[in-house]
């Protein structure tokens, strides 16, 4: 066990450095921050004497209509009840989440193909140490990026005379646990496929599937479209990080701290289960092409 | 040191390795030979813990070895056939070795890294990016990486392929030097002439089965049908060929210019008897040497016999 932990530490260190010298990392951060800035600016220009008025900003109007149509009016009211920061947080974070997850899936496929993982596995390391290192790197950068967003939004709030509401801070934690479960699905996608392209396709397929199921459940609740069977959606939700994330969001709405903590714990359990499955799949499939 | 018992690897219905039994004592240079697709790589991958065997047992250092025994892997050094050069293009040779030293938990590895790089004449490019290295430099770097943690066993897969003659000599000298320090060395290579120079013992695998395994001399003797004695003379009298043929141990004699090629049975040493025979006739040999079968000949003989045997089995069907 100590050998695996040490190997995980050494590989994670290299992966962190590798990410820091990669232009993609800075591009993903820049896109996220730009989107955040754009949304806050749009929100500020949509405020008139009566409060928030979407029609003042054409982009905001479009966003509000789309969100209302998909998730319902109540959802939009809740989302913007504390200002633009909750929405901006998610919009700024999603590109970075997908950058981290997809680059890790790509790296696994590529390093496996060229024999780099095999080379590492000749020593006191194995495929599990490699994927754990990848997971640790993704987790590390998620926390770092959320801290960057926190500072960015805090400064934006000060400049625009707005405040970061409690929903924003609760969501920060929820995002961390939502992300780790997605990273674990990225690992599963990597090890189940034979090359980087099919790994990325599988990961995006899984993510899209959960998003569709989640949107479907919103639609069912809203009473607009019943495109998914209730039983199917009920089964799938237990495997979906989005379900536990929305459970956490609901808990914040109800002021139920216990449920909020449970939602995060459930995402941790899902992540651990996925990592354990990955370990056993790797044992069978190995790290050799 | 390395023991396998009835090692089997199957991929679906195809048996890549079929009940292979190896017993490699400590301190040996062991050559593992076989044509492409013979089961060589599968056997090595099982010994390295990269793929699990379908059945059978592997023992390393007298302990049962499974892919999860990372503690035993720490005592192994591996030089793979191809070095994944495209992987860490931003790393210098020094950073690359330091990364592996970190995986092996080596304390203060800088001096050892530089000493090993100096041994293969790469110390002056220690801070050059490995993406700029030639095939030969990468091969040497790979050997340094494998030696970094002072392993008890060194696995080398085609360690000299693609190297120039100077590189081959450097690597050969390094292998022999490492073996003299007590390291067990397991080599798989197609360059049989090189294997013949450095291996103490060799094994030949074909169609997943171990066909032969012995000490180099014993294996060559076992596989040779007969031996040739080459005699160079200033002048060869016409009657000499017939006279030598009359010797009871001589199987055949051929003459080409000033050389006589005398075929004798593989057992026994007939050089003294032939020398005495020539001297009695006032013929002084300018050179007399025994040419035994080469490893390459032995390899071709044994694999060809099995190809014919398999073809025969197929034909009988």
Query: For A95-122, what is the mean pLDDT?
Result: 93
Give tens-digit pLDDT for B133-173: 888 888 889 999 999 999 999 999 888 877 788 888 888 88
Rounded CA gap, B139 and B234, in Å? 48
Q: Are B64 and B58 in contact (CB under 8 A)?
A: yes
Query: Tell me: the pLDDT tens digits for B217-272?
Result: 777 777 777 778 899 998 888 888 888 988 888 988 988 888 999 988 877 888 88
Using CB atoms, which residue from A18, A124, A286 is nearest to B50?
A: A286
Whether the CB of B89 is below 8 Å from some CB of chain A: the reply is no
User: Residue A22: phi, psi to the nearest 5?
Assistant: -95, 130
Alpha-carbon dihedral angle through residues A270, A272, A274, A276, given to the nearest 10 degrees: -150
Q: Which of A168-182, A232-246, B184-198 has the highest mean pLDDT?
A: A168-182
Contact check, Cβ <8 Å, A111/B70: no
CB contact under 8 A, B84 and A115: yes
For B186, counting Cβ atoms within 10 Å of its Cβ (0-12 exposed, 13-18 middle, 19+ buried), the class is: buried
Q: Is the pLDDT of residue A170 over 90?
A: yes
The helix/strand/coil state of A100 is helix
**Mean pLDDT calculated for residue range A221-225:** 50
Q: Determine, for residues A115 and B105 on separate chains, whether the beta-carbon distance falls below 8 Å.
A: no
Tens digit of each residue's pLDDT (9 = 90 or more) over A185-195: 999 999 999 89
Question: For testing the chain B interface, which of A6, A9, A120, A123 should be mutated: the one with the most B CBs within 10 Å?
Answer: A123
- Coarse DSSP helix, strand, coil percentages of chain A, rounded to the nearest 5 percent: 85, 0, 15
CATH class for the region spanning B226-291: alpha beta
Give the per-residue pLDDT at B306: 66
At residue A133's C-alpha, the angle toward residues A128 and A134, to 5°, is 100
Annotate A232-252 with DSSP letters as a single string. HHHHHHTT-HHHHHHHHHHHH
pLDDT mean over B185-211: 87
Structure tokens at B297: 């000949």
Cβ-defined contact of B50 to A123 (cutoff 8 Å) = no
Which range, of B50-59, B92-101, B293-302, averages the lowest pLDDT?
Answer: B293-302
* A186 and A275 Cβ atoms separated by less than 8 Å: no
pLDDT higher than 70, residue A221: no
CATH 3.40.50.300 residue window(s) in chain B? 1-75+151-168+175-224
How many pairs of residues across A and B have Cβ atoms under 8 Å apart?
70
- Grade residue A30 by pLDDT with cuts at 50, 70 and 90: very high
Q: How many residues does chain A have?
A: 289
- Residue holding tokens 């197929």? B314
Lowest mean pLDDT across A48-52, A152-156, B141-145: A48-52
Q: Does A113 touch chain B (CB under 8 A)?
A: no
**Is-contact A61 A55, C-beta < 8 A?**
yes
Is the model's pLDDT at A227 over the cut of 70?
A: no
Residue B77: name the closest of B171, B162, B184 by CA. B184
Residue B17 has a pLDDT of 95
Instruction: With CA atoms as reference, report the closest residue to A35 among A95, A78, A81.
Output: A95
A131: part of which helix (H) or strand (E)? Answer: helix A127-159
Q: How far is CA A269 from CA A132, A258, A288, in A?
A: 16, 16, 29
From chain A residues 129-158, the ones with a CB under 8 A of any chain B CB are none
Of B71, B73, B67, nearest to B53 by C-alpha is B67
Contacting residues of A for B52, CB less than 8 Å apart:
283, 286
The reported pLDDT for the residue numbered A78 is: 78
C-alpha–C-alpha distance, residues A77 and A64, integer Å: 9
pLDDT at B215 over 80: yes
**B311 pLDDT above the threshold of 80:** no
CATH of domain B1-75+151-168+175-224: 3.40.50.300
Find the farthest-apart pair of alpha carbons in chain A and give their distance in angstroms, rounded. 68
Max distance between CA atoms of chain B, in angstroms, equals: 75
- With a threshold of 0.90, tell me whether the complex ipTM lies above it: no
Q: Which of A19, A26, A179 is nearest to A106 (CA)?
A: A19
Is the pLDDT at B316 greater than 50? The verdict is: no
In chain B, ranges of CATH 3.30.70.100 domains: 226-291
**B167: nearest Cα among B157, B159, B156, B178:** B159
**Is B317 a residue whose pLDDT tops 70?**
no
Tell me if B82 and A115 make a contact (CB, 8 A cut-off): yes
pLDDT of residue A225: 47
Chain mean pLDDT for chain B = 86
Give the angle B69-B56-B22 at the CA atoms, nearest 5°: 90
Buried b (16+ CB within 10 A) or exposed e, B271-307: bebbbebbeeeebebeebeeeebebeebbeebbeeee
Residue A249 CB contacts under 8 Å (≥ 6 apart), including other chains? A171, A174
Is the CB of residue B105 less than 8 Å away from at least one CB of chain A?
yes
Q: How many of the other CB atoms lie within 10 Å of CB of B168?
A: 17
Q: Average pLDDT, stretch A195-223?
A: 82
Chain A residues near residue B98 by CB distance under 8 angstroms: none
B68 contacts on A by Cβ (under 8 Å): 126, 283
Distance CA A94, CA A179 (A): 9
Interface check for B254 against chain A (CB to CB < 8 A): the answer is no
Q: pTM for this structure?
A: 0.83
The yes-or-no verdict on residue B67 having pLDDT over 50 is: yes
Q: Are strands B226-232 and B259-265 parallel, antiparallel or unpaired?
A: antiparallel
């Amino acid at each position: 066990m100590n050998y695996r932990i040490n190997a995980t530490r050494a590989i994670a260190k290299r992966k962190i450095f590798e990410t820091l010298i990669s232009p993609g990392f800075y591009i993903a951060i820049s896109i996220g921050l730009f989107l955040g800035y754009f949304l806050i600016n749009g929100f500020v220009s949509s405020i008139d004497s009566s409060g928030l008025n979407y029609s003042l900003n054409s982009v905001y109007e479009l966003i509000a209509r789309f969100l209302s149509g998909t998730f319902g009016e109540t959802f939009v009211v809740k989302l913007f009840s504390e200002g633009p920061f909750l929405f901006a947080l998610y919009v700024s974070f999603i590109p970075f989440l997908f950058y981290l997850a997809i680059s890790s899936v790509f790296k696994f496929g590529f390093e496996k193909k060229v024999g780099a993982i095999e080379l590492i596995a000749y020593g006191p390391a194995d495929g599990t140490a490699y994927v754990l290192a990848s997971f640790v790197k993704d987790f590390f950068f998620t926390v770092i990026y959320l801290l960057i967003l926190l500072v960015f939004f805090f400064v934006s709030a000060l400049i625009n005379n707005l405040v970061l509401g409690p929903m924003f801070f609760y969501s920060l934690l929820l995002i961390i646990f939502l992300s780790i479960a997605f990273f674990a699905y990225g690992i599963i996608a990597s090890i189940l496929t034979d090359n980087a392209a099919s790994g990325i396709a599988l990961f995006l397929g899984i993510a899209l599937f959960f998003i569709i199921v989640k949107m479907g459940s919103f639609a069912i609740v809203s009473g607009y479209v019943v495109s998914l069977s209730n039983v199917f959606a009920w089964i799938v939700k237990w495997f979906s990080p989005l379900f536990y994330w929305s459970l956490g969001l609901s808990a914040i709405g109800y002021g139920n701290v216990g449920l909020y903590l449970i939602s995060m714990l459930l995402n941790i359990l899902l992540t651990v289960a996925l990592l354990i499955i990955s370990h056993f799949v790797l044992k069978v499939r190995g790290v050799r092409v | 040191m390395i023991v396998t018992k009835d090692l089997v690897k199957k991929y679906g219905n195809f048996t890549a390795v079929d009940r292979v039994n190896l017993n490699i004592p400590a301190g040996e240079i062991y050559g593992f030979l076989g044509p492409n697709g013979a089961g060589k790589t599968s056997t090595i991958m099982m010994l390295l813990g990269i793929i699990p065997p379908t059945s059978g047992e592997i023992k390393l250092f007298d302990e049962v070895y499974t892919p999860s025994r990372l503690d035993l892997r720490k005592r192994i050094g591996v030089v793979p056939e191809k070095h994944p050069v495209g992987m860490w293009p931003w790393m210098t040779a020094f950073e690359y070795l330091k990364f592996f030293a970190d995986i092996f938990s080596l304390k203060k590895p800088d001096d050892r890294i530089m000493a090993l790089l100096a041994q293969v004449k790469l110390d002056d490019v220690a801070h050059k990016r490995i993406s700029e290295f030639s095939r030969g430099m990468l091969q040497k770097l790979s050997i340094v990486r494998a030696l970094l943690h002072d392993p008890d066993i060194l696995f080398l897969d085609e360690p000299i392929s693609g190297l120039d003659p100077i590189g081959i000599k450097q690597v050969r000298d390094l292998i022999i030097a490492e073996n003299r320090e007590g390291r067990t060395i397991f080599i798989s290579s197609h360059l049989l002439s090189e294997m013949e120079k450095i291996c103490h013992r060799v094994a030949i695998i074909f169609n997943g089965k171990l066909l032969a395994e012995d000490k180099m001399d014993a294996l060559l003797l076992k596989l040779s049908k007969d031996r040739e004695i080459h005699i160079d003379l200033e002048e060869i009298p016409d009657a000499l060929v017939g006279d030598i043929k009359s010797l009871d141990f001589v199987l055949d004699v051929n003459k080409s210019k000033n050389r006589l090629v005398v075929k004798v049975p593989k057992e026994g040493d007939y050089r003294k008897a032939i020398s005495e025979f020539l001297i009695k006739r006032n013929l002084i040999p300018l050179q007399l040497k025994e040419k035994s079968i080469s490893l390459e000949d032995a390899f071709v003989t044994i694999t060809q016999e099995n190809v014919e045997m398999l073809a025969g089995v197929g034909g009988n069907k």
